[in-house]
Structure 1
Amino acid sequence: MRINPLLAKELRLRMRTWRSFAVVSLYLLALGGFSLIFFAGFTSSLRYGYEDPSSVGQNMFYALTALQCGLLYFLLPGLTANVITGERERQTFDLLVCTQLTPLNIVLGKLAASLSTVVLLIISSLPLYSIVFLLGGVSPAELAILTAILLISAFNYGSYYLFLSALFQRSSIAVLAGYALSLFLSGGTMLINGLYASMLHGQGPGLPLYYLLLINPAALLEWLFPEPGQEIIGELIRMTSGWTYPFTGSFSWLRFWHVSLLVHVLLGVAALWGASRLVNPLRSERKRRRRAITPAAAGKELEVTAE
């Protein structure tokens, strides 16, 4: 199987610079430092038998999961939102689109190169979970599910930010738009539901705005924590709109994270398709021709009218 030449070039360039190693080092330093502090905090209680080691392991796993998801989520805009705008600013974008690579191959190569850093971060952080397994309470299957959630989320949100990179001309604007989008998806959806709940004042069921939570990055965590996740989502839905957990009865086999995963994958594929359309040089050429033809056609119409 032939590797994407753009991906191969990007990987060589990324591994030759100090930036990738600095990101990995700082990332592991944050996770490792947190793990040591968390473990040291429970050492005394474990020594005197005040805590069950398995419960400590579960709590540590929950905390590491939340920290890792948050770090990766807010690293993604900086890693992906400037990959195409950077080519424009370096004036190498025209050379890139003149190669034999299709627009879709260009977009996929850029996305894969950006996500390679995320994959490196995820793999390098796996040894930290050995402390969790030492304490017990967590199975390898749960770690595998967490890894799958991180990889799927990286693909989905990386696709969104790559679309913004193809849409805007400057990296600063694209990165700023990426962080604004990440804040909306994570906090904006919750804020909208909270404001709507305060407007209802418990006056019965309202609009099903809780479906906005499908695009919230935390929705996929129901896959990792089924029972507490379903309880939390059900309580949020009840508090914000007066409805109950939507998938009951004949739809009891369906879960909130199933629909969230489907929505995210569809939006991610649509974002990649839109980005490939934006980097297509033929599309840009057609736009220029339309802009050039329109004034000329308008001038001819004026001449005919004058005659």
Structure 2
Amino acid sequence: MKTLPINPLLAKELRLRMRNWRTFLLFTLYLVILGGFGVLNYAAVSNMLRYGTGDLAQVGQTLFVFLAFIQFGLIFFLVPGLTAGALSNERERQTFDLLVCTQLTPFAIVRGKLFSSLSFVFLLIFASLPLYGFVFLLGGVSPTELMILIAIFILTALIYGSFSLLFSSLFKRTITAVIASYAFSLFLVGGTAIIVSLFTLILFGMGNQNAIFSWVLLLHPVALFEWLFPEPGVELLREITQQAYPFNIPWLKFWHLSLLVKGTLAGAALYLATRAVNPLRAGRRSG
């Protein structure tokens, strides 16, 4: 029986990572933090039932959204730390030249490092599923919504992992790559919102010219969660852009555009990382 081919670099990295006790410690801390926040939120929201201001479905929906945002934040800030040292560590250990001399193509090296770094994040995502099982007991959330959420988590890890891997390929020191990755992440969180707010104030009352800068919000990490709040999300963006909301196509949502833009930028980041890894810098090797 033939087995599926697996990237040898990915296989090696997975063995090393799973043998490390720190992996299981971080695994435990992640679930404790996520579960702890979930319990606190449930305790707070369940008070609505005592006073007759809500039902179980509302509690389930609120808990689902709360867990989604907490887990998204944990993933968003874990990914740079796990990925930024993937290639720079090889340079610091002086094993990078040996790595590029193997039969692995530059893209295979980049791909193996990306998935080996994110494999732990993927495990965290699937390990958190029992917590969402409690949401189903309360109701208000469908399995389809949970599958969409898991897909968004995985895509988020791949997108921002690609950006961090680019910094890891550009810088020789891991600490520099980590700082650059987190600085970029903080810019996406705060910088995009600041840019839109500043230009909204500067161009206040100038009509549709404000809509140009609303496109910057496509880069904001939370933009992918518009599907959780379709109507409030649209109203918020309309308020920010002074009613000049440019995304009025019925079948094209804001988070669809955000995913397309971020996916394109992530693909470009992987291409640049592959170019940086290639010792010939000619890109003739494919893989």
When the two structures are superposed, what TM-score results if normalisation uses the length of structure 2? 0.92
> What number of residue pairs does the alignment pair up?
278
Tell me how far 1:223 sits from its aligned partner: 2.9
Task: State the alpha-carbon separation in 1 of the partners of residues 201 and 38 from structure 2.
Answer: 38
Tell me how far 1:186 sits from its aligned partner: 1.4
Partner of 1:296 in structure 2?
A: none
Task: State the alpha-carbon separation in 1 of the partners of residues 46 and 159 from structure 2.
Answer: 39
Task: State the alpha-carbon separation in 2 of the partners of residues 246 and 65 from structure 1.
Answer: 27
Partner of 1:108 in structure 2?
A: 111
Question: 5+ unaligned residues in a row in structure 2: which ranges?
Answer: 283-287
Q: Give the letter aligned to residue 272 of structure 2.
A: G
Task: Give the conservation status (yes or no) of the 8 Å contact 2:84–2:168.
Answer: yes
Q: Give the letter aligned to residue 100 of structure 1.
A: Q
Partner of 1:214 in structure 2?
A: 218
Task: State the alpha-carbon separation in 2 of the partners of residues 80 and 36 from structure 1.
Answer: 30
Task: State the alpha-carbon separation in 2 of the partners of residues 73 and 17 from structure 1.
Answer: 23
* 3-state secondary structure, aligned to 1:201: coil
The percent identity for this pair of structures is 57
Q: Deviations over 1:86-116 (max 9, x none)?
A: 1111111111111100000000000010111
Task: Give the conservation status (yes or no) of the 8 Å contact 1:186–1:217.
Answer: yes
Tell me how far 1:204 sits from its aligned partner: 3.1
Task: State the alpha-carbon separation in 2 of the partners of residues 203 and 270 from structure 1.
Answer: 35
| Equivalent residue for 1:18, pick from 15, 18, 21 | 21
Question: 5+ unaligned residues in a row in structure 1: which ranges?
Answer: 285-307
Partner of 2:154 in structure 1?
A: 151
When the two structures are superposed, what TM-score results if normalisation uses the length of structure 1? 0.86
Relative to total residues, which structure has the larger helix share, 1 or 2?
1
Task: Give the conservation status (yes or no) of the 8 Å contact 2:45–2:62.
Answer: no
Tell me how far 1:43 sits from its aligned partner: 4.1
Partner of 2:42 in structure 1?
A: 39
* 3-state secondary structure, aligned to 1:2: coil
Tell me how far 1:69 sits from its aligned partner: 0.7
Task: Give the conservation status (yes or no) of the 8 Å contact 1:167–1:275.
Answer: yes
Partner of 2:285 in structure 1?
A: none
* 3-state secondary structure, aligned to 2:209: coil
In structure 2, the CA distance between the partners of 1:171 and 1:194, relative to structure 1 (3 Å rule), is same
Q: Deviations over 1:186-229 (max 9, x none)?
A: 11100111111222333433351111111111111123433333
Q: CA RMSD in A?
A: 1.6
Greater Rg by CA: 1
Task: Give the conservation status (yes or no) of the 8 Å contact 1:82–1:175.
Answer: yes
Q: Give the letter aligned to residue 281 of structure 1.
A: P
Tell me how far 1:280 sits from its aligned partner: 0.8
